[in-house]
Amino acid sequence: MSDGADIKIAGNGPILVSGAFALTGEDGQPVTDLNPTIALCRCGLSANKPFCDGTHSSEGWTSA
Ligand code: FES
C-alpha cells in the first residue's frame, strides 16, 4: 500500500486501481463518480471499456 494509487493485476482478470488516483478520459476530461476501487479491462472483451464488466470470466479469458 502507498500514499498514491495502488495498482494490482488480478489473476486472469482486470487491473484493480485504488487509493489516490485520477482517471482522464480520451477527451482529456476527468472521469468523475468513480468507485474507490476501479477495475480496468485488460482482456479487451468488455462492452464498457475502459472498465471491466466481467466478460473476461464468462469468456474464460486467461492472461497466459
Ligand atoms: S478484464 Fe474483465 S472484461 Fe476485460
pLDDT, greater one: 3 or 1: 3
Q: What is the pTM of this model?
A: 0.90
What whole-number distance in Å separates Cα of residue 38 and Cα of residue 19? 10
Q: Is the CB of residue 45 below 6 angstroms from any atom belonging to ligand 1? A: yes
Please compute Rg for the chain using Cα positions. 12
Cα-to-centroid distance, 29 and ligand 1 (Å): 23
pLDDT exceeds 80 at position 2: no
Mean pLDDT of 24-53: 96
Residue 3: its pLDDT value, please? 85
CA 56 to chain centre: 12
Nearest-CA residue for ligand 1 atom 2 is 52
| Distance from C-alpha of 19 to C-alpha of 53, rounded to nearest angstrom | 21
Q: Label residue 1 by pLDDT band (50, 70, 90).
A: low
Distance (angstroms) between ligand 1 centre and the Cα of 15 equals 9
Mean pLDDT taken over the chain:
95
Binding site membership of 55 for ligand 1 (Cβ less than 6 Å) = yes
pLDDT at residue 27, as a whole number:
96
Grid cell in block for residue 20: 489516490
